[in-house]
Structure 1
Amino acid sequence: MGGALWGYFDDKYGRKPVLFAALLVMGVATFAIGLLPTYSQIDIFAPMILVAVRLIQGLAYGAEWGGAVMMTFEHAPLASRGKYSAIPQTGSPIGIALATVVFLASAQLGNDWAWRLPFLASAVLVLVGLYVRLKLEESPDFERAKDSGEILKNPVTEVLRKSWSTILRIIALRIVESSGYYMISTFLLSRISAAHPEAKGTTLTALLITCLIAIPVILSAGTFADRIGRKKLYYAGCLATIAFAFPAFLLPSGGDPLMIVAVFAIGIGLIWGTLAGAQCAWFGELFPTNTRNSGASLGYQLAASISGFAPFIAGALGAAFGWVGGSMLYMLIGVIGLAGVFATRETWGPNERKSVRPLLNAVPPEGAPSSTAAMASR
């Protein structure tokens, strides 16, 4: 719902105001969690309020990915859109790493402040983020669409009517990335912790190490996507998911700390990081400017909603088939992703790069207006 709501405003009114508003809503909701009364104070109303605040966070999050990635995508030079649009994707592993460190540190307090303090301290990040976003310039692509009268009355309806098949392709492409992440970070982590309680510290350490590995992998994947194309990199990620399906759940089943760290590092740090870095520019290039955020955000967030069920399904399969059940589902999501790659056109392959090379090599004549220089640089 957040993807549709904010995508509508983003394509209709601009990227900058939506980015600012979304962070403000997310920041207030996150800070509010640190102030919530407990169950012992107001009974059942405590979890009800918490769920309501989490829903508000979810609506705000619907704007974050599309707004941040598409803003970066549309500001980037044409030949480096993969490289630059991958940068916002590093926010996820950086955020998880910081949160893990903060909660591990605050746990030493041993009282209500152990969980309240991290939420309250998030206000600092929000204030910094709001300041940064105030300084942003509006997307040049959006400004051009606005000046040329291409802004639509209802971009969400338009993208659903004309580009529904592209949204389905994005869902398939994203399921392999997001479901694969949840399978490792949620299902496998819980399964290891339940079978080997003594390994709980190891799993948290593995998650932290994995996040640190994922950051350079995401950035490298975005750069390689500019050099070899989006599809080739995504093919590699999907095939790696399929090949890793059985080792991912067999190797850590004995509780060996080294195997746990290795599986998290490969499954999230390398495979997930590659897919996450390659997808940003690809998704943006599948839509025109006036429906770009609506289309990309809808596909991205619908896939996230579907992927949220992956740990539950894996749990049911695990109960019936043991660790093989998780492997079967992990392999299936790799196949779904592979089908999505087959069905989706390449947007930055050799032919595309060749067709824009004259523009990339263009040198604006002396005295040319700044818009001409900007177009040549893009």
Structure 2
Amino acid sequence: MSPSNAPSPPVPVPPPSMGRLAAASLVGTAIEFFDFFVYGTAAALVLGPLFFPTFSPLAGTLAAFGTFAVGFLSRPLGSILFGHVGDRYGRRPVLFASLLLTGCATVAVGCVPTYATLGIAAPVLLLVLRFLQGLGLGGEWGGAVLLTAEHAPAHRRALWSSFPQIGPAIGFLLANGVMLALSAGLSDAEFRSWGWRVPFWAAGLLAAAGLLLRSSLAETPQFEELSASGKRAGAPLAEVARDHWRLVLLTAGALAVGYAVFYTVSTWALAYGTERLGVSSTVMLTCVMAAVAVKGAATPFVAVLADRWGRRPLCLAGCAASALWMFPMVALLHTARPPLMFLGFLGALLAFITMFAVVAAYLPELYEPRVRCTGAAVGYNLAGVLGGALTPLVATALSDGGSGPPWGVAAYLTVVALVSLGCFALLPETLPERSEETAPEPAAV
């Protein structure tokens, strides 16, 4: 073959920009958490009387929070299912399948007739769809954080990995902003009749936009290296259970306080403020949303500190701050004065984000690449069961009766924070060396 006929060398494909990858992961988690949070807000405001009308107000709220908890119980199952896909077939397929499942389930929630129409079938359908929501969200987090963590330079991994952690704040603000606008613009009868369904229907459009954005994403380089070397895990869950079970339990216990604090503020406090303190839902939502907005804005700044000083010190600081702030937060909430309630919520969420801005880099670094999608996601979502699923139920039960502040809620949250502090103390530091170009080897635990 003459030189003139020789095939041209392949043109190298430039790596995707970190900004584009971070945007795709942020938008995806924002949409998924919009779907998840809009259910929590509806559970606090309307689902009890609409789907459990034969219960007392307290029992109806507990039942609505019970269906809310089911979403957390299914999240570890989603992390197992999608973690297997992510470790065997790539991180990219997880991003599509999880978003599609959660979006479809959320739209369907908005179409379920109430108890008055379907009877007992209505709450059963609600339960099934909430289970599917959690299943999809259980897969989303692992895929989204690995998209950024496995592309990012080591010395900026916490910063770039923090963008998926901003997504929950945006999803929460979108979900509650729509709920706030509807509850303020509609009569109570209109809101309970059809207004609460609108955010669930909107989830379909958001999911379609997210799928379009993710359609051109590249697979992560670390997974491509695993595929090329033939070192992918054959049974990721079995390998995690055999070799990393202690690490999974420690990370689940460590992160439980973050879920407990966040869902105390975003879910239980809404119900307590409206039902027990007589504060309007509009005022409660505004206070919580303002605190969540500040928390979201602070996320990348905390992550920068984690790239400078390490992951573990910030996590320990966040746990300690949570333990110290729970009693003041409950006292400030009980005043029913908006500025003081906002202050209580803000302090709690800043303690929360001191930990959760870091964990998107920290958890993947703790696991070796071949089981990273499964291990990190199972630990993260198991913490949701321990801290997120139980907290609204426990807090509602502890706050029943009495005219003073619900100190039992503060005591419960303080104990959770101390347990998480102990778990973080047993985890190693994973801050990479400045010269490192790839993910660090997992620390021995």
Structure 2 length-normalised TM: 0.76
SS in 2 for 1:137: coil
Please state if 1:63 is matched with 2:139. Answer: yes
Are 1:199 and 1:257, in contact at CA under 8 Å, matched by a contact in 2? no
- The structure-2 alpha-carbon separation of the partners of 1:138 and 1:4, relative to structure 1 and needing over 3 Å to count, comes to same
Are 1:19 and 1:133, in contact at CA under 8 Å, matched by a contact in 2? yes
The correspondence of residues 199-210 of structure 1 with structure 2, limited to 5 A, is 199-210=280-291
Q: 1:289 aligns with which of 360, 369, 388?
A: 369
Q: Which has the higher helix share?
A: 1
The correspondence of residues 84-103 of structure 1 with structure 2, limited to 5 A, is 84-103=160-179
Q: Which residue type is aligned with residue 372 of structure 2? A: R
- The structure-2 alpha-carbon separation of the partners of 1:39 and 1:98, relative to structure 1 and needing over 3 Å to count, comes to same
The correspondence of residues 210-225 of structure 1 with structure 2, limited to 5 A, is 210-225=291-306
SS in 2 for 1:158: helix
Q: Please state how far the C-alpha of 1:288 moved relative to its aligned partner.
A: 0.6
Q: Distance in 2 between matches of 1:119 and 1:188?
A: 22
Are 2:180 and 2:282, in contact at CA under 8 Å, matched by a contact in 1? no
Q: Distance in 2 between matches of 1:67 and 1:156?
A: 16
Of the structure 1 ranges 158-167 and 321-330, higher mean CA displacement relative to structure 2 is found in 321-330
Q: Please state how far the C-alpha of 1:302 moved relative to its aligned partner.
A: 1.0
Q: Please state how far the C-alpha of 1:78 moved relative to its aligned partner.
A: 1.2
Q: Distance in 1 between matches of 2:133 and 2:382?
A: 16
Q: Please state how far the C-alpha of 1:193 moved relative to its aligned partner.
A: 2.6
SS in 1 for 2:219: coil
Of the structure 1 ranges 31-40 and 209-218, higher mean CA displacement relative to structure 2 is found in 31-40
The correspondence of residues 47-196 of structure 1 with structure 2, limited to 5 A, is 47-107=123-183, 108-109=185-186, 110=190, 112-196=193-277
Are 2:335 and 2:341, in contact at CA under 8 Å, matched by a contact in 1? no
Q: 1:298 aligns with which of 375, 378, 388?
A: 378
Q: Please state how far the C-alpha of 1:315 moved relative to its aligned partner.
A: 3.7
Q: Give CA-to-partner distance per residue, 1:21-77, whole Å, 9 cap, x none.
A: 111111111122233333333322222222211111111111011111111111111
Residue 418 of structure 2 is matched in structure 1 by: 335
Q: Please state how far the C-alpha of 1:319 moved relative to its aligned partner.
A: 4.7
SS in 2 for 1:75: coil
Number of residues paired by the alignment?
355
Residue 356 of structure 2 is matched in structure 1 by: 276
SS in 2 for 1:197: coil
Identity of counterpart residues, as a percentage?
Answer: 34
Of the structure 1 ranges 53-62 and 42-51, higher mean CA displacement relative to structure 2 is found in 42-51
Q: Which residue type is aligned with residue 303 of structure 1? A: A
Q: RMSD across aligned C-alpha pairs, in angstroms?
A: 1.9
- The structure-2 alpha-carbon separation of the partners of 1:274 and 1:193, relative to structure 1 and needing over 3 Å to count, comes to same
Q: Which residue type is aligned with residue 373 of structure 2? A: N
Of the structure 1 ranges 188-197 and 140-149, higher mean CA displacement relative to structure 2 is found in 188-197
Residue 235 of structure 1 is matched in structure 2 by: 316
Q: Distance in 1 between matches of 2:106 and 2:268?
A: 25
Q: Give CA-to-partner distance per residue, 1:249-301, whole Å, 9 cap, x none.
A: 11222212211011111112x11122110111111100011100111111111
- The structure-2 alpha-carbon separation of the partners of 1:302 and 1:345, relative to structure 1 and needing over 3 Å to count, comes to same
Q: Which residue type is aligned with residue 423 of structure 2? A: G
- The structure-2 alpha-carbon separation of the partners of 1:147 and 1:346, relative to structure 1 and needing over 3 Å to count, comes to same
Q: Distance in 1 between matches of 2:366 and 2:153?
A: 17
Q: Please state how far the C-alpha of 1:205 moved relative to its aligned partner.
A: 0.6
Q: Distance in 1 between matches of 2:160 and 2:152?
A: 6
Q: Distance in 2 between matches of 1:25 and 1:114?
A: 24
Please state if 1:345 is matched with 2:428. Answer: yes
Q: Which residue type is aligned with residue 206 of structure 1? A: C
Q: Distance in 1 between matches of 2:263 and 2:292?
A: 14
Q: Which residue type is aligned with residue 8 of structure 1? A: H
- The structure-2 alpha-carbon separation of the partners of 1:266 and 1:12, relative to structure 1 and needing over 3 Å to count, comes to same
- The structure-2 alpha-carbon separation of the partners of 1:235 and 1:13, relative to structure 1 and needing over 3 Å to count, comes to same
Q: Please state how far the C-alpha of 1:130 moved relative to its aligned partner.
A: 0.3
The correspondence of residues 256-267 of structure 1 with structure 2, limited to 5 A, is 256-267=337-348
Are 1:106 and 1:118, in contact at CA under 8 Å, matched by a contact in 2? no
Q: Distance in 2 between matches of 1:113 and 1:187?
A: 23
Q: 2:105 aligns with which of 29, 47, 59?
A: 29
Q: Which residue type is aligned with residue 300 of structure 1? A: Y
Structure 1 length-normalised TM: 0.89
SS in 2 for 1:309: helix
Are 2:273 and 2:279, in contact at CA under 8 Å, matched by a contact in 1? no
In structure 1, the gaps of 5 or more residues are: 361-373
Q: Please state how far the C-alpha of 1:19 moved relative to its aligned partner.
A: 1.0
Q: Please state how far the C-alpha of 1:18 moved relative to its aligned partner.
A: 1.3
Q: Distance in 1 between matches of 2:98 and 2:226?
A: 23
Q: Give CA-to-partner distance per residue, 1:230-253, whole Å, 9 cap, x none.
A: 011112111111111221111222
